[in-house]
Structure 1
């Protein structure tokens, strides 16, 4: 062409120059987004009169996780764990939970409590039968659903606060499903709830072992069973006073095998151990995680209400004649002990 000076070389596009430079190097490396953008900027500054209609379209393939994949100390990218690692971790946790869940199931289905006898003049076994003030569904709701819900809510709002301050919640969890990284607060919820459920299983297993090994009769034993001796006599006969009776049968027509089994499971109190464990665990959790300065009084109020629920549950087991006072004391100690042990290694 007449406008071209002799010996001049036609300018190439920035991407072509980048490829020629990469092919001439001794150790070719894969182009990164930063190097391609730098090459494009260099071409734009070296040839300002280049026709804009012939610009190069750069298709930058961004990584799946733009943020949250760096180690806290800045040493390199944080390894990401996919669905396989997630399901492996869940499977291992379920196996550990089954170690305490299966024995509990075995106790409830096949277990037989120790057949303890009684004295006919034992006044501690002559209380009337009453329905439970603290129903089982209320106990499950307060000691099962409430702690899980509180943990999810607190961890979510902590994550929002951490993001605003630029702290560790911004790094991500390191787990991803379907090209989406799981948030760090969701991983914290899984850890805290998992520890709570495992401690609850261990506490209930400890309680059941004591129940079936001791076989203590409940305070309403006479009212519910109405025992009859092999000779046809009852505890109202004077000849049976002071005798320790082990061979007897229940004459009550409405008593079932399930109730007969339950009447021997007085020590320790399962309601008291369950309530004390769950409420103390949640109170300690709030103490460590609910640290907003404007919510201190609210936190203390919630802790007081939780502990009062456990206290009231334990007292009703005595007033409803479901347990002896020593049963409730032992159950409460079991629940409190496991709550302290589990939470002490969680932070």
Structure 2
């Protein structure tokens, strides 16, 4: 009587082919049902209970889908909340940084004295008439101060609404992580604060650089003779032949209607503060619109606004020469200061 002994049949021909394909770098084909049955069948296929089949197939995972799910979970996760302590701490820090720029500017305005620079009586560049500014200061402050802040407020608000409508997780896009009085501040408001803060800080640095140059050089304006009517210490004037080729440093202004502000401003020609202010604000706003106003439907409108802003800065710079407020080199230097700071400040904007 023949005894039955357990037989382990593993015809692994299909499996070996599967492994050879995997090792050769080819994309392995999935084992079919027929190949598995053929592997399990053998000379003693009637003893199915004693057949031991060991199949270890690799597990294929859709990496793209898994990464997408991870990103989705990460994007849906709310940022940690920051209370009033963090908010007011951030505002206080920003105010301290701004005071480092604003206080020197205030000191220049109240107590600053420009260098006492002399002149030649035959210098024709100082004999232009005195005229009122075509671009007064209040229009400059309105266009270069209030307008950029208003545009940033409107653009950031609509960007926040657009993200909320088109995001798969609208609640997460509205969460900024800052809460005040049991209310969480929206993301667009925090972004608006960041953009405005960078703009104001850059504006202060640009104006401080301009004032340092003004008070350090003390260049006389083109309407110096008309406004001052200088008289020398010996009582002579520029009409006397003795002063024809002299470099005059000690003089007084004989004009009776000149104010102390005009007397101080008379020596602050280089560089042009109007030109630097306008060029900085307008170029900053142009770059801001280019990087933040990205709606394809309003692309032509964005380009039109950018053109108008640049033309305002260009026109402001030209009027400073035509109104005899500055020499052409003063306007060129002021424009260069404003453009340089605008590029530097906006270099990290996204």
Query: What TM-score results when the alignment is normalised by the length of structure 2?
Result: 0.77
Higher-Rg member (1/2)? 2
Alpha-carbon shift at residue 73 of structure 1 (Å): 2.3
**CA displacement at 1:337 relative to structure 2:** 0.2
Contact 1:71-1:77 within 8 A present in 2 as well? no
In structure 2, relative to structure 1, the CA distance for the partners of 1:162 and 1:280 (3 Å cut) is: same
Deviations 1:219-263 (A, max 9, x none): 000000000001111001111011100000000001122211100
Is residue 253 of structure 1 aligned with residue 256 of structure 2?
yes
How far is the alpha carbon of 1:339 from its aligned partner?
Answer: 0.2
Are the aligned partners of 2:79 and 2:176 in contact in 1 as well (CA < 8 Å)?
Answer: no
- Post-superposition shift, 1:143? 0.2
**In 1, Cα distance between equivalents of 2:168 and 2:287:** 23
Rate the CA distance shift 1:290–1:72 in 2: closer, same or farther, 3 A: farther
- Spell out structure 1 runs of 4+ moving beyond 4 A: 74-77
Q: Secondary structure at the match of 2:191?
A: helix
Q: Does the CA-based 8 Å contact 1:155-1:188 persist in structure 2?
A: yes
Instruction: Report Cα offsets for 1:113-140 as digits up to 9, x if no partner.
Output: 0000000000000000000000100000
Matched residue, 1:80: 81
Partners of 1:188 and 1:77 in 2: CA distance = 17
In the TM superposition, residue 78 of structure 1 has moved relative to its aligned partner by 2.5
**2:285 is equivalent to residue 282 of structure 1:** yes
1:96 counterpart residue number: 97
Rounded to whole Å, the distance in 2 between the matches of 1:106 and 1:72 is 53
- Point out the more displaced range, 254-263 or 191-200: 254-263
| Alpha-carbon spacing, 1:162–1:116, altered in 2? closer, same or farther (3 Å) | same
Residue in structure 1 matched with residue 167 of structure 2 by the alignment: 166
Tell me the secondary structure at the aligned position of residue 134 of structure 1: coil
Contact kept, 8 Å, 1:125 with 1:222, in 2: the verdict is yes
C-alpha offsets along residues 4-27 of structure 1, whole Å, 9 cap, x if unaligned? Answer: xxxxxxxxxxxxxxxxxxxxxxxx
Task: Determine whether 1:226 maps to 2:240.
Answer: no
- Pairing of 1:142-161 with structure 2 (within 5 A): 142-161=143-162
**Alignment of 1:319 onto 2:296:** no
Query: What is the aligned partner in structure 2 of residue 37 from structure 1?
Result: none
- Distance (whole Å) between structure 1 residues aligned to residue 289 and residue 168 of structure 2: 20
Aligned equivalent of 1:209, options 208, 212, 217:
212
TM-score (norm 1): 0.78
Q: Which residue in 1 is equivalent to 2:341? A: 338
Q: Does structure 1 retain, via aligned residues, the 8 Å contact 2:160–2:174?
A: no
Q: Distance in 1 between matches of 2:83 and 2:195?
A: 21
Paired with 1:76 and 1:186, the residues of 2 have a C-alpha distance of: 20
Given that 1:72 and 1:171 are in contact with CA atoms closer than 8 Å, whether structure 2 keeps it comes out as no
Q: Hey, what does 2:54 align to over in structure 1?
A: none
Q: What is the RMSD of the two structures over their aligned residues, measured on CA atoms?
A: 1.6
Aligned to 1:108: 109
Decide whether the 8 Å contact of 1:266 with 1:323 is kept in 2: yes
Which consecutive unaligned segments of at least 5 residues does structure 2 have? 1-70
Residues matched between the structures, number: 278
Q: For residues 142-180 of structure 1, what are the alpha-carbon distances to aligned partners after superposition, in whole Å with 9 as ceiling and x for unaligned?
A: 000000000000011111110111178715110011111
